Amino acid sequence: MGRYVIARLLLLIPVLIGVSIASFSLLHLIPGDPAVILGGSQATDADLAGIRKEFGLNDPLPVQYFRYVSQTLHGNLGISIRTREPVAQALIDHLAFTLRLTVLSECLALAIGISAGVAAAMRHNSWLDSTLMVASLTGISMPSFWLGLLLLLIFAGTLRWLPAGGNSGWEALILPAVVLGTGGAAHIARMTRASMLEIIRQDYIRTLRASGISEFLIVYKHALRNALNPVLTTVGLEFGALLGGAVVVETIFSLPGMGQLLINAIFSRDYPIVQSGLLLLSVTFVSMNLLTDITYALVNPRIRY
């Protein structure tokens, strides 16, 4: 197991190099001068020249890239062009909120998805199975921005049960978590159903039933545990999708997370924020995939790396 983890961590190096090159290149291809955006319409040529010199924007792109990589390796993510605050502090403040929202959404997706998948598998070809699969297909097909606006209109606008967004406490996370978790729950439900149908048709399940063991223990102690491996793969991928979807959802609900930070940074051409933010999200995503792989062995002891 230790050798496997070390090998996966070493594979993280080329991934991060690729992400850094892609984010740096794409960001500099976007039209717009950060100095003009920061200086404003009344900035003189001398003001613009001072801003470009302060942030090294006059240097050739390869020089800027290697300076960025060197500073990152030394733990210095630079200074925000827009706010002039340390990038590391801005990322920590906003990532904490995004992770809180993502973990809540993932827990919601797991609870609903696994329950629905098991129920559909145990009532195969019944009205319950058909209803749950139609609902999961609807959840997969529904755009998050449309669902977010719909829930805002109903629960925040018409009924006024929940806040429309912001950082007003745990109530502000309910609607965004539902929006983010809907698609994940639908994917997990379909995967759980397919995996459970394969497991419950195997001979050892028939043997357990013939031995008089209760159906509850057969389903949740034996069948579900063996059916969880493909579901865990889906969960790991869904976590990355939730991080990406948080950008849209946080913008809709005006949440102070990584999504809002990156959107504002892109519009203002704040290169240090965007580059470091994308790198941080990539590290989080790859780390979750590694954690998912390690969890396989915990759920199913027959798996060895």
In angstroms, rounded to a whole number, what is the distance separating the alpha carbons of residues 151 and 154?
5
Counting Cβ atoms within 10 Å, is residue 146 exposed (0-12), middle (13-18) or buried (19+)?
Answer: exposed
Query: What percentage of the chain exceeds 70 in pLDDT?
Result: 93
Render pLDDT for 218-277 as a digit per residue (tens, 0 to 9).
Answer: 887 778 877 877 777 777 777 777 777 777 788 888 888 888 888 888 887 888 888 888
Most trustworthy range by pLDDT among 1-10, 34-43, 52-61, 105-114: 105-114
Identify the pLDDT of residue 150: 87
Read off the pTM. Answer: 0.76
Rounded to 5°, the CA angle 26-260-149 comes to 115
Rounded to 5°, the CA angle 279-30-102 comes to 35
Q: What are phi and psi of 86, to 5 degrees?
A: -60, 135
Q: What is the mean pLDDT of residues 19-48?
A: 76
Yes or no: say if 36 and 43 are a contact pair by the CB < 8 Å rule: yes
Q: What is the mean pLDDT of residues 2-21?
A: 78
* pLDDT over 60 (residue 305): no
In angstroms, rounded to a whole number, what is the distance separating the alpha carbons of residues 270 and 38?
9
Render pLDDT for 112-134 as a digit per residue (tens, 0 to 9).
Answer: 989 899 889 888 888 998 898 89
CA distances from 224 to 172, 209, 249, 292 (A): 34, 15, 32, 17
Identify the pLDDT of residue 187: 87
CATH 1.10.3720.10 given to domain 95-299: yes
Quick one: pLDDT band at residue 299, thresholds 50, 70, 90? low
- The dihedral over CA atoms of 92, 98, 101, 105, expressed in degrees to the nearest 10, equals -130
* pLDDT over 80 (residue 38): no
Residues with Cβ within 8 Å of 188's Cβ and at least 6 positions away in sequence, in order, are: 109, 110, 112, 113, 114, 117, 231, 234, 235, 238
- Count of CB atoms situated within 10 Å of the CB of 178: 20
Yes or no: say if 275 and 68 are a contact pair by the CB < 8 Å rule: yes
Stronger pLDDT, 302 or 48, i.e. the higher one: 48
